[in-house]
Structure 1
Amino acid sequence: MQSAMVVPPFLGSSFVGFKEALAFKESQGDYFTINTLGYLGKYQFGVGTLQLMGVYNATKFLNDPTLQEKVFRTNLARNKWILRKDIQRFSGKRIKGIEITESGILAAAHLAGPGNVKKFLRSYGEWDVEDAYGTSIFHYLEQFSGYDVSSIKAVRNPRI
């Protein structure tokens, strides 16, 4: 018996394509899931990140897809602010054979946090980390390269 491969819908390189591809990688697009480490929802947010965004009720968050989408965009705006100089400096360059793009940087920041992405970029890939499931910053930089995330504006300390 052959197993069916599950693939996300193809939405091209648009922002919607970016967020849906990232959501598929994180949770297979399931708003109502909690992983084995306690990360929540479609985009697998930790409680600490939710609190940074101004969300203090994890149950409400998990049961509110609209709130999850707002938190995702707000966190992207925050990461874009924190990484704005690195995005400008490294976009278009190659590190360890992959082209660095703004969308790859933002996806990697979603995975590992903006501070870890700065360390990766500034060490030219010598410093890399993996999440508990074995996914590295390098992998996200590569997998999420080339999406249009220009609709996300960098915001210092954004809140919901």
Structure 2
Amino acid sequence: MTKNITSILGLTLSIVFLLLMSFSSNEELDLKKYSTEGLVLNYTVSLDGGIKDNTLASKEGNKIFSPYLGKSFVGFKEALAFKESGGNYFTVNTYGYLGKYQFGRGTLKLIGINNTDQFLKNPKLQEKAFIANAQRNKWILRRDIKNFVGKRINGIVVTESGILAAAHLAGPGSVKKYLRSYGLDNFADGYGTTVRYYMKRFSGYDTSFLKPNKKAKANTI
């Protein structure tokens, strides 16, 4: 018992001594030694807190005011546009595909656009063209969407957004062949991008906004 009391007393005196030494020091703390200037700071605060997935972009389509688009429809089309052109409305690739969503001239004619020069200079028309083409593709692929969504092909679960993205890349006919051959007929574009890749990259987005429309035209949206 005496040994325990002695040990406790010794520990207490040691703590008191250390505290007295720290308070008696007259040296000022130099905060400059602890500056964060020049350091790369990584924060772990989420940017998407409290923001819903269906946040919309501006009507012009070329200015996104939300820091988080998630799996919303706007997120779908902006992600697709970034893959196609880096989001550049005014670019033409080496194969002659035009604008933010890289449309071919033949596809543009199908949705009522014949003047490609005017199309390339008009961001609003490009946004309308994307909607019209997606609605038309959704009508063409409506049975395939019903029959294949939820199934696994080439290791990828088929989703509606994946189907529509692949149709934008390769055309609805190529997507039908891919699905109905269970992945054996896997179209690749001039850069080597495949239907399977788009199925995977753009899976799981909410494309319910798009209504199937056989006669969709950009000038009527």
Superposition TM-score, scaled by structure 2 size: 0.68
Distance 1:10 1:130, change over 3 A: farther
Q: CA deviation at 1:10?
A: 4.9
Q: Which residue of 2 aligns with 1:147?
A: 205
Separation in 2 of the partners of 1:12 and 1:158?
27
Map 1:80-95 onto structure 2 (within 5 A). 80-95=138-153
User: Displacement, 1:157?
Assistant: 2.1
SS at structure 2 position matched to 1:111: helix
SS at match of 1:135: coil
Equivalents in 2 of 1:75, 1:115: separation in Å?
14
Query: In structure 2, what is the equivalent of residue 3 of structure 1?
Result: none
- Structure 1 counterpart of 2:180: 122
Partner of 1:156: 214
Q: Mapping of 1:9-158 within 5 angstroms? A: 10-158=68-216
- Describe the SS at the equivalent of 1:80: helix
Total equivalences in the alignment: 152
**Alignment CA distance shift 1:143-1:10 (3 Å):** farther
Amino acid at match of 2:129: V
Q: What is the RMSD of the two structures over their aligned residues, measured on CA atoms?
A: 0.8
Q: Quick one: distance in 2 between partners of 1:19 and 1:135? A: 18
Unpaired segments of 5 or more residues in structure 2? Answer: 1-66
SS in 2 for 1:129: coil
Give the letter aligned to residue 105 of structure 1: I
Larger relative contact order (C-alpha < 8 A, sep ≥ 6)?
Answer: 1
Q: Output the CA distance in 2 between the equivalents of 1:14 and 1:104.
A: 13
Structure index of larger Rg: 2
CA–CA distance in 1 between the matches of 2:209 and 2:215?
A: 18
In structure 1, distance between residues paired with 2:152 and 2:172: 19
Distance 2:96 2:184 in 1: 29
What is the CA–CA distance in structure 2 between the aligned matches of 1:113 and 1:10, rounded to whole Å? 29
Question: Hey, what's the Cα distance between the residues in 2 that align with 1:46 and 1:131?
Answer: 12
In structure 2, C-alpha distance between the alignment counterparts of 1:110 and 1:74, rounded to whole Å: 11
Output one character per residue of 1:23-50: Cα deviation in whole Å (capped at 9) or x when no partner. Answer: 0000000000000000000000011111
CA distance in 1, matches of 2:82, 2:118: 22
1:129, distance to aligned residue in structure 2 (A)? 1.0
Q: Write the letter of the residue equivalent to 1:70.
A: K
Q: When the two structures are superposed, what TM-score results if normalisation uses the length of structure 1?
A: 0.93
Aligned equivalents of 1:77, 1:126: Cα separation in 2:
26
Distance in 2 (alpha carbons) for counterparts of 1:157 and 1:82: 11
Aligned counterpart, 2:13: none
Unaligned runs of 5+ residues in structure 1 are: 1-8
Cα shift at 1:11: 1.8
